[in-house]
Amino acid sequence: MRIEAVTGDITEQDTDAIGNAANSSLLGGGGVDGAIHAAAGPDLLAACRALRASTLPDGLPVGDAVVTPAGRLRARWVVHAVGPNRHAGQTDPALLRSAFTRSLDEAAAAGARTVALPAVGAGVYGWSAADVAAEAVGAARDWGAAHPDGLDLVRFVLFSEPVRAAFEAALAAG
């Protein structure tokens, strides 16, 4: 499995699945979440509302992920992951790593071979880019080792050069 880091717009990625840094409600928000919902159109929100009405009435737990169709995006699926909010006292790096691991689980289960993921937790949830990069890259490496035929590509699509540099450093470290 190839792992790479690029700066760019996750909504423009030509991968089977893209990841969303979602909140527990799954009903949209700011940052990556808002951009994905805006680009995907109303079908994405409808799919999220259907999940809330059926299997996730209390929302998606921190550290977990769920997949929906991608609406108008190039990707076929959106994998929504909820990272821990450091500002709310959620400081366990295992929850952050779990958001990435569960994203890969869900993407592969949906049938994706390629996935683009954002820096879940590095925005308004207050995690440093270096911490997110270490957990994300570690999760991807561990997942790839445990599932050698699971995915062909994990691309971290990052919103700024400093965040990309943190991911490049994490990739180089191991």
Q: Write out the catalytic residue numbers.
A: 33
What are the tokens at 134?
Answer: 């270490």
The three-state DSSP-derived secondary structure of 3-32 is EEEEECCHHHCCCCEEEEEECCCCCCCCHH
Name the DSSP class of 80.
E
Packed helices 129-146 and 161-173: angle between N→C axes, nearest 10 degrees? 50
| Cα separation of the two ends of the chain | 15
